[in-house]
Amino acid sequence: MSDIQPPLPSIPKFTELLLKSKINFSNLYISNEGGTGLTFHYNLKPIDYLNYAKKDLKESNFRGFLNCITNAKRAIDCQTDRILNIFNLSNSKKYSAIINKFIESNNRKAKDGENRALVFVEVLGIAPIGLISKIRNLRNKLEHYYERPSEIEAQEAIELAELYVNATQNKITFANEILFGTEESINGDARNWEGFNVYFQPDLKNIRVTFYLENVDNVIFTQDDLEFYHFLKITLTYNDEDSVAESLSHLLKYLQHPQANSVIKVTCEN
């Protein structure tokens, strides 16, 4: 029998830094350290299409109801495109593979005919699943059925579009800068931290991770990295402890971290 042992499976470099930081993901504390506003402007904004839809509704005839639903859909599409552009993800062909991987890593798979951008917005935690489902039904009815819309359906389309625009706008207005560590380190001297800092850099469209370790440079994740999307979701859903814990669980599994199969517990310090 040979004395040669098989090599140990390699782990990503970022995982090594997480291990050196000695962070315990089963009792993790995170703190919001501010952040930055996020925006992207078109000549026509989602609110413009919503206003057009409301004027269409007042016509109280078939043409008005049809135009109302069309403009409500345009408001939804415009807001979705704004979200993608804010994070420099408008080139869907370039990022389709990695975005699909992110969606699937969240145990979600786009069904045939589903709008992938809306699925991505859902998985990022920017809009509720139920709301996305209603939007999908609206799009399908408008695009695949030649039916006369009723006044009630037109009114519901406006309400649905307003809910979507407002809900997502509240989430994308601000990306949090988050500190990860222990309760003692967060409430004590940051120089003695056993943790790291995560920040979405809007000008560079990337995620910067800073470890409180000697001789360790910042780690940068771009849209080509799966880590980018998991951390992006965390910065956008900071106040939802369950969502952050779920995101970390998916990330740790991808990183082959020893705590990947442990129960992740997160406490948000406000």
- The predicted pLDDT at position 237 comes to 87
Write out the E strands in 16-165.
28-37
- The predicted pLDDT at position 46 comes to 94
Alpha-carbon span 76 to 169, nearest angstrom: 11
- The predicted pLDDT at position 188 comes to 66
- Note the pTM of the prediction, 2 decimals: 0.84
Q: What is the pLDDT along the chain (270 residues), one digit of tens a residue?
A: 444 444 434 567 899 899 888 888 999 999 887 777 777 778 899 999 999 999 999 999 989 998 998 899 899 999 999 888 888 887 666 668 888 899 988 888 767 667 788 888 889 988 877 777 777 777 777 666 677 788 998 999 999 999 999 988 888 777 778 889 887 776 665 555 678 999 988 888 899 999 888 788 889 999 999 999 999 999 888 888 999 999 999 999 999 999 998 999 999 876
**Chain mean position to CA 71:** 25
Tokens 């988050």 found at: 178
- The predicted pLDDT at position 189 comes to 58
- The predicted pLDDT at position 72 comes to 92
State both tokens at 188: 């004590």
- The predicted pLDDT at position 9 comes to 46
- The predicted pLDDT at position 56 comes to 96
Question: Is there a contact between 42 and 187 (Cβ–Cβ < 8 Å)?
Answer: no
* Residue 2 CB-half CA count within 13 A: 3
